[in-house]
Structure 1
């Protein structure tokens, strides 16, 4: 009985090891293929600004919003 276990246990171990090794290799190759697809150049959006073209910007920093709020509240009190 022990000789049967001594033969089957390493065999089961090797099969499980091969399955895990195959899965890891498949995952690695799929990750490499997807990274090649991502690295390809993307088409330019039609509304994107051209290089060197000026773009309007909105400042939504906390300090700027607090200044605008204070200006609005002081303008409303003075009227």
Structure 2
């Protein structure tokens, strides 16, 4: 398996975990909705944490990415519900 394939699988796994955690917080969603909200949330959360200069102080990069993606997914789901 090439490095690009591994990176993509890790990204999708982080998105799925983040989407699942976001669905626990705000409720509802199937597998595809969790994956999509988690992937979009990864971009939103990463951007927001970087733009606001927020550092969690956690040494584990995977945990930090999951937290950023989860916060972003929660924001994405809440905005989507507000629009709908």
TM-score scaled by length of structure 1: 0.31
Structure with more contact order per residue of length (Cα contacts < 8 Å, sep ≥ 6):
2
More helix by share: 2
TM-score scaled by length of structure 2: 0.29
